[in-house]
Amino acid sequence: MDNVLEVKDLATYFFMHDYIIRAVDGVDFTLGRGETLGIVGESGCGKSITSMSMMRLVPDPPGRIISGEISLKGRDILKISDDEMRKVRGNEISMIFQEPMTSLNPVFTIGFQISEVLRLHRDIGKQDAITEAARLLRMVGMSDPEERVNEYPFQLSGGLRQRAMIAIAMACEPTVMIADEPTTALDVTIQAQILRLMRQLKETKDTSIAFITHDLAVIASFTDRVMVMYAGVAVETSTVHEIFKNPLHPYTQGLLGSVPVLGDRKVNADGSRKLLNAIPGSLPDARRFPRGCRFAPRCPKAMKKCWEAEPATVEVAPGHQVRCFLHHDEVRVISKRDLGAAGKRVLKNQQKNSGKKKSSADGSKTDTPTARN
């Protein structure tokens, strides 16, 4: 499978007044043609900021992509101009959000919004664009699309709005589609309809999808490969089969043990109630991560060295990467990468600078040598 998207050592920070939020702190992944990559992790672990970085839509200030490379069909989209990026967005790479109401414009009809996207990227007349919009709405399973084009977002149910969003995202048949929790706000029966629709589209158009969710069951049923994120970093990446059958990172293992499986037995052999394998504690504060492994405070297998240094990401089997000292066993390691180094440089600089001009009123404008833009 040839890769249409390669993300290397991506780091996106938020430079707040007196602290830095390391939202994404060294993330590496690839996306093959027609492949679906699931991105999972707890709230605040950096899933949305990863996808917004790919769209170059991180609010700046305070956010900034401080390092990395995002090559879309061989071109680094972090290096192109804003104008060029506007052409890429919606055309080669598009995005669906969790709450369609916030991304659809409430004062324009559905048809107008779709036709605008079409007219921006294609040489197509107003009337043709509306006809095309109706065709797209039919494709995403809306009945009476010729009438729907004249409706406003608030007139549609949650499921129909999400279909309209998908129609907009698919309008130009993008190479890559990013779906950020596209079904989280929907009921299960509507979620099933939307997932089936996305599956059909991906099969007919060969679209590559980055699918963000915190629902492991959706991941299992919908994706080919999975990246598990924790506190701004990818802790494990592999095929969906490997992740579920042979999870290596203690966090992945914990996550899988936390969800009740429908039909699970609820009592132990001795008659007592069975408890879930909950991970104790919660996600660390993105302002000050623990010194060593970010999962160490919650990890049942933490060792002394876990508290002292961050583990590097190692490839233990082809396509199976883990970021954990338990798997730094040299015999098995295929490759080893120290991600997030750029971030460390930025932080060091920041500390030096803030030491120099302590009483400076504008802490957020601190210069960072590796920063882009």
Partner 1 sequence: MSSKTETLIDIRGLKKTFPVKASVFSSKSIPLKAVDGVNVQIKKGETLGLVGESGCGKTTVGRCVLRLYEPDRGRVWLDPDPAVVAEVEQFDLEYEQLQSQLDDVIASGRVRGAGQKTRELRNQIRKNRNIARRKAMQQDILSMGRDQMHKMRRNVQMVFQDPWASLNPQMVVSDIIGEGPHTYGTHKGARLNKWVMELLDKVGLPRNAANRYPHEFSGGQRQRIGIARALALTPKLIVCDEPVSALDVSVQAQIVNLLISLQDDFELAYLFIAHDLSVVQYISDRVAVMYLGKIVELGTGEQLYNNPRHPYTISLLGSIPVADPEIKTQERILEGDVPSPVNPPKGCTFHPRCPNRIESCSQIIPLLEKSRDGHVIACHNPPNG
Task: Give the other-Cβ count within 10 Å of 177's Cβ.
Answer: 24
Please name the amino acid found at residue 368. T
Q: Is 221 in the site for partner 1 (CB under 8 A)?
A: yes
Min CB(318)–ligand ATP separation in Å: 28
Segment lying near Mg ion (by CB under 5 A), choices 41-49, 125-133, 279-287, 332-340: 41-49
Helix (H) or strand (E) run with residue 53 in it: helix 47-55
Q: Is 211 in the site for partner 1 (CB under 8 A)?
A: no
Q: Is 360 in the site for partner 1 (CB under 8 A)?
A: no
Bridge partners (DSSP) of residue 53 are: none
Q: Which of 59, 125, 257, 281 binds ligand ATP (CB under 6 A)?
A: 59
Q: Which is nearer to ligand SF4, 175 or 313 (CB)?
A: 313
What is the contact surface with ligand SF4 in residues (CB under 6 A)?
Answer: 250, 293, 295-296, 299, 301-303, 306, 311, 324-326
CA distances from residue 301 to 66, 132, 198, 253, 372 in whole angstroms, order as listed: 32, 56, 39, 11, 38
Q: Which is nearer to ligand ATP, 179 or 286 (CB)?
A: 286
Min CB(15)–ligand ATP separation in Å: 9
Q: Which of 186, 286, 306, 322 binds ligand ATP (CB under 6 A)?
A: 286
Bridge partners (DSSP) of residue 27 are: 10
Min CB(48)–ligand SF4 separation in Å: 23
Bridge partners (DSSP) of residue 313 are: 337
CA distances from residue 251 to 20, 44, 168 in whole angstroms, order as listed: 25, 15, 36
Task: Give the other-Cβ count within 10 Å of 345's Cβ.
Answer: 15
Does residue 198 contact residue 228 with C-beta atoms inside 8 Å? no
Min CB(4)–partner 1 separation in Å: 23
Q: Which is nearer to partner 1, 225 or 323 (CB)?
A: 225
The DSSP-derived string for 48-94 is HHHHHHHHT---TTTEEEEEEEEEETTEETTSS-HHHHHHHBTTTEE
Q: Is 202 in the site for ligand ATP (CB under 6 A)?
A: no
Q: Which of 12, 30, 36, 48 binds Mg ion (CB under 5 A)?
A: 48
The DSSP-derived string for 202-260 is HHHH--EEEEE-S-HHHHHHH-SEEEEEETTEEEEEEEHHHHHHS--SHHHHHHHHHSP
Q: Is 213 in the site for Mg ion (CB under 5 A)?
A: no
Q: Which of 7, 11, 45, 134 binds ligand ATP (CB under 6 A)?
A: 45
Binding mask 264-303 for Mg ion (x = CB under 5 A): ----------------------------------------
User: How many Å apart are CA 223 and CA 195, to the nearest integer?
Assistant: 11
Residues in the chain: 373
| Region class of 299: left (phi > 0), else alpha (psi between -120 and 50), else beta | beta
Q: Which is nearer to Mg ion, 114 or 169 (CB)?
A: 169
Bridge partners (DSSP) of residue 210 are: 37, 178
Min CB(73)–ligand ATP separation in Å: 25
Return the one option of ligand ATP, ligand SF4, Mg ion, none that residue 359 interacts with (CB less than 5 to 8 A, by type).
none
* Interaction site with Mg ion (CB under 5 A): 48
Question: By the criterion CB under 8 A, which residues form the site for partner 1?
Answer: 42-43, 157, 159-160, 187-193, 195-196, 214-222, 240-241, 244-245, 254-264, 266, 273, 275-280, 282-283
